[in-house]
Amino acid sequence: MFGTPAIINAMQLNTVIWSLAAGIVLYVLLRVILRKRVAAALQPWTKNINMDLVDEIGYRSVLIGFPVFTLGGLIFAMIWAQIAWTRFWGWDPKEVWALITWLFYAAFLHLRLSKGWHGEKSAWLAVIGFIIIMFNLVAVNLVIAGLHSYAGS
């Protein structure tokens, strides 16, 4: 179990496929009900938003979440793994993607603080970080087999 590489379990793709299908159906229903693009329907509600405030909220969220994730997602998880499996790191897909997530947000904070990436650059980094986290939650848990997943082996 520990030495086997991660494999993709095709049976668990059903969950991902059903989720995508439900999202597409929901989008089509909104298009039919609103009779215009969803972005155009939301635009009147978003025209008075202060973008600098949204940028600052996003930055502060990462600033608070990064040390919490460092403690919970990496340090305490390694302590638990050492007690449970007599090893603190096993290169399981979930562990690797937790490290990738941590490294990405470390780079995000570095670019924000040292290079002055504000506004649109910071927003794109936040979008990429969200995609990484969703991949970790969906694909790594449900599709890629490993010790931390529901995909089986």
d(CA 119, CA 108): 13
Q: Is the pLDDT of residue 30 over 50?
A: yes
| pLDDT for position 73 | 87
Q: What's the gap between Cα 125 and its chain centre?
A: 12
Model confidence band, residue 45 (pLDDT cutoffs 50, 70, 90): confident
- Among the residue ranges 36-45, 67-76, 92-101, 114-123, the one predicted with the least confidence is 36-45
- Which position has the token pair 């929901």? 26
**What pTM does this model have?**
0.75
Between 59 and 3, the more confident residue is 59
Q: What's the gap between Cα 112 and its chain centre?
A: 19
Q: What's the gap between Cα 80 and its chain centre?
A: 23
Find, among 138, 130, 132, the residue nearest to 14 by Cα.
Answer: 138
State the average pLDDT over residues 35-61.
89
d(CA 58, CA 51): 11
Q: Which residues make Cβ contacts (< 8 Å) with residue 117, sequence separation at least 6?
A: 111, 125
**What does the mean pLDDT of the chain come to?**
86
Residue 114, token pair as written in the block: 């040292």
